[in-house]
Amino acid sequence: MSAYAELAVTTNFSFLRGASKAEELVLRAKELGLAGIGIADRNSVAGVVRAHAMAKVIGFKIAVGARLVFSDGCPDILAYPEDRAAWGRLTRLLTVGKDRAEKGECILGGPTCSTRSKDSTSLSCRPIASMPTRWSTCCAA
């Protein structure tokens, strides 16, 4: 098995950006001998359910999250929640972004992404330097 894990995988739920089904991506990653993959669709967590289900069946490690794409020119962020509370903040942020946009779109940026109290929709991310150095410490099969 390779020590490599691709963390920016986009499924067909990222319209016009990803082409493969989540299940196919998980199967192919295992065939290639990858240590794991991170599913991060564009302003969505739609692909993670199917990816997780397949990963569980074949015993493969995945990280589930979202690629946050901002409307104000801020660089994209790959967000992988570390616990249930962080998952709640991520999905709330995506809900707010989708509520203010046309169907199929998500507008993130401006006041939605600024620092606020723990009861708001803000999202905190660990700096790259503090990310686990071993895949096994950040993902579960």
Residue 115, domain CATH: 3.20.20.140
Q: Identify the CA nearest to 140 among candidates 35, 41, 68.
A: 35
Q: What is the DSSP letter of 32?
A: T
- Going residue by residue through the chain (141 aa), what tens digit of pLDDT does each one get? 678 888 888 887 776 676 778 899 999 999 999 999 999 988 989 888 999 999 999 999 999 999 998 888 788 889 999 889 998 999 999 998 888 888 878 888 765 554 443 444 444 444 333 344 444 334 433
Helices (H), the chain: 22-31, 48-58, 84-99
Per the structure, the complete domain to which residue 42 belongs is given by 5-137
Overall number of domains in the chain: 1
Phi first, then psi, for residue 6 (nearest 5°) are -80, 120
Q: Across the strands, what pairs with 140?
A: 62
- Expressed in angstroms, the distance from the first to the final Cα of the chain is 15
